[in-house]
Structure 1
Amino acid sequence: MSELCTATFADLAARLGFSCGEAGGLIEFRNPAALENWTLPVLEVTIVLGSVLALIYAILRLRRHGDPTNLVLWFGATAYLFVIEPPLYFPSAFGIADHVDTMFAHNVFTVDFLWGRLPLYIIAIYPLMATLAYELVRMLGIFQRHGLLVGAACVGFVHHAFYEIFDQLGPQLRWWEWSLHNPINQPMFDSVPLPSVVVFAALWPMSLALCVRYFVGRHVDAGTKFTGPQLVSRTVVIGLLASAGTFVLPLPATVFGMGSDSVRGFLYAAELLVLSVIAVVVLYRQWSAPRSGSAEVYRNRLVQWYALVYLTVFALLWITALPDYFDAAAGRTPHGDPVGNLWYTIGCFVIAIATVLATFLVRQGKSDDGGTEQPSARGYQRTDGEQGVRVAEQELP
């Protein structure tokens, strides 16, 4: 579909090493050994494998424990993807070309959809990242103790840490290319637009978690059973409302920052700072709460271990990218690729690792009335008295 090759996208594609006009149709397969560099298939395998395992876990958890939360989360994140991404790829086809120009271009990978615009791993990364962040927060018991809004903020914060490890590295390794002349991408935070750092890394997963918890998670914990049509309708609503939340949550920056990149950047950073302070305080307090009796907390072993796999793979990818990173001049490697912020990435690694380790070490605290909150296959149950009922850890069935 060469008629959809806008000048901006064609230029970005050329920088990445492929031709927009020659990109395949609805779906195209390539030899992984013939991609731009070896990191692209490694990225694909890591993300797609994790997403598939998360989907299998979600299905098994619904069948064996009657808990559809993970499945709704997985498909809700995918629904959000298909609401948000296609208009960004084809602004002319959606009638928004006068307002939104091409923001970025993905490189071509082993499996691509929509004429080289949508790699398979991008479809997979939305539900995978959402599952990692949501389940890590869920394992820490934050939704039950601190409520829906604070729990969603913590999901956004944890997602931000995992996502920025990936986001700050991508442009240097030619996984995608940002349009530096698009005002929507301004201001830039090294190689990444600050709106991406805040909105797509933190606020959209916060919005998604809020919707999933409100429409499904809290009802499941209360023992509600949903029919198939109810789950489908709620998943669609979650995808749509999470998309709306992505528009609403950054409104202070988008409204009051109009006409000034500096003001917009300050407000974006302020929103992220507020969310981060709340999340850090809550995550630490929840982790450090004293254990009561012999209670055990809910654990998703798949998420715990795959989060460590993800962090290990990206640590290796970052290590291999460091020589070019340190040889960079004026923010670009000797090959002309933009570099991310290493120190910010290190901070994200620290947060992500600490959060995962906390799920192994979390201690269950007493509730305000002296009872304890106990995890069960359907959520959190209450027990009164000094001795808690021992509940088996929830692992991949």
Structure 2
Amino acid sequence: MTDHCAPTFEKLAGELGFSCAEAGGLFEVRNPFALENWTLPVLELTIVLGAILALIYAIVRLRRHGDPTNLVVWFGATAYLFIIEPPLYFPAAFGIDEHVDTMFAHNVFTVEFLWGRLPLYIVAIYPLMATLAFETVRSLGVFRRYGVLVGAVCVGFVHHAFYEIFDHIGPQLRWWEWSIDNPINQPMFDSVPIPSVVVFAALWPMSLAFFVQLLVGRQVDAGRDFSGVEIAWRTVVIGVLGSLGTGILPIPATVLGAGSDTVRGFLYVAELVIVSVVAVVALSRRWLALRRGESDIPGYSNRFVRIYSVVYLGVMALLWVTALPDYFDAVDGSTANGDPIGNIWYAAACFVIAILCVLATYTVPRSGSGGDDRIGPAREPEVSHSA
């Protein structure tokens, strides 16, 4: 790399408590008991374990039911990560440093890649969060009832709820630090940039879900078989298209709001409101239809997603509770240690939405038992899905 320690990253690293110049190499393992604080290894274990279990579930589902959708979500999200994140870590190496400065710095965790830029848990959080959101929506039969676009919007909404719980506590616990002087991060919503709240929490998973369902999911629903080669190239294409979609979807804010942080923030929020309204209506109607037995469109019960959603929310609730004393003692948006606080009321609203989404997956009628039971009318659609 042409510059491992760009000035902005070096400054952020110092504020997080580590030295950029000493931040390992391509790969580094640290003592989990010697990290910045105890919340870092807890977060790391929760996310990495969840991603591994999600991958195992995806492989099992492909082998048992011939359905590669979960596997494509997992690797499509990972492909998206490696397309989007490296240029943000090393703008000079990618020749974009005149236009894009360092936006943030992660703290160092147990397992690190790329000279302290990329913790393993960040690699894991993309496929885990995408799986939780996609499968929550898919299990309610939203894609089959309302189509690819509305289903993708619902995925973005659910992902947003799960992600913002994490996003609004990270800076306070020194999981990462934003460069607030970077205009790309403006406007800020307490300790979180509005672009992160909208683009990375809602629009990128929406884009990924759209192409997963368009190129794989809906064809699996129609009974199509995929070879290993077809799954591989479609996954790569989905990662590329998902990243392009993430650049296209925020255009109203990035272009029309180019001259004003206020206008840009308003347009970002307007996009999020549209996503939320569409998703709330679609998810609510699907849940009510399933509860009343009025739907002939089946979904299925994803045992991993139902259980691990509860695990994730439980861990995040614990971390929030332990952070509350410092949060409420904060002055002018910063704790006594100088760490910025997020918006607790927004995080609480996201908790409520996420819990309701999880409850929806537990309270729709299911037939039989097991981790992949169909819900809805008694029939065997899995037979038509087998490869």
SS of 1:83's equivalent in the other structure is helix
- Alignment of structure 1 residues 110-189 onto 2, 5 Å: 110-189=110-189
Q: Distance in 2 between matches of 1:82 and 1:132?
A: 20
Q: CA deviation at 1:275?
A: 0.5
SS of 2:258's equivalent in the other structure is coil
Residue 358 (structure 1) aligned to one of 341, 357, 360: 360
SS of 1:4's equivalent in the other structure is coil
Change in 2 beyond 3 A, CA 1:378/1:360: closer
- Alignment of structure 1 residues 246-285 onto 2, 5 Å: 246-285=246-285
Q: Which residue of 2 aligns with 1:39?
A: 39
Q: Distance in 1 between matches of 2:210 and 2:372?
A: 21
| Contact preservation (8 Å) 2:3, 2:92 | no
Q: Which residue of 1 aligns with 2:385?
A: none
Q: CA deviation at 1:63?
A: 0.8
Change in 2 beyond 3 A, CA 1:64/1:173: same
Q: Distance in 2 between matches of 1:300 and 1:335?
A: 42
Q: Distance in 2 between matches of 1:190 and 1:216?
A: 39
Q: Which residue of 1 aligns with 2:339?
A: 337
Q: CA deviation at 1:390?
A: 5.3
| Contact preservation (8 Å) 2:152, 2:207 | yes
Q: Distance in 2 between matches of 1:113 and 1:209?
A: 27
Could you state the TM-score of these two structures normalised by the residue count of structure 2? 0.94
Change in 2 beyond 3 A, CA 1:296/1:263: closer
List structure 1 segments (4+ residues) > 3 angstroms apart after TM superposition.
292-297, 376-381, 390-393
Residue 305 (structure 2) aligned to one of 303, 309, 333: 303
Q: CA deviation at 1:377?
A: 7.2
Q: Distance in 2 between matches of 1:2 and 1:81?
A: 21
Q: Which residue of 2 aligns with 1:291?
A: 293
CA deviation digits over 1:261-298, x for unaligned, max 9? Answer: 00000000000001101111111111111215999741
Between the two proteins, the alignment pairs up a number of residues equal to 377
| Contact preservation (8 Å) 1:65, 1:377 | no
CA deviation digits over 1:79-113, x for unaligned, max 9? Answer: 00000000000000000000000000000000000
Q: CA deviation at 1:389?
A: 2.3
| Contact preservation (8 Å) 2:12, 2:179 | yes
- Alignment of structure 1 residues 81-100 onto 2, 5 Å: 81-100=81-100
| Contact preservation (8 Å) 1:223, 1:378 | no
Change in 2 beyond 3 A, CA 1:111/1:203: same
Q: Distance in 2 between matches of 1:380 and 1:155?
A: 19
SS of 1:128's equivalent in the other structure is helix
Unaligned runs of 5+ in 2: 383-387
SS of 1:64's equivalent in the other structure is helix
Could you state the TM-score of these two structures normalised by the residue count of structure 1? 0.92
Q: Which residue of 2 aligns with 1:389?
A: 378
Q: CA deviation at 1:379?
A: 8.6
Q: Distance in 2 between matches of 1:26 and 1:242?
A: 26
SS of 1:278's equivalent in the other structure is helix
The RMSD of aligned alpha carbons is: 2.1
Question: Aligned partner of 2:188: which letter?
Answer: M
SS of 1:3's equivalent in the other structure is coil
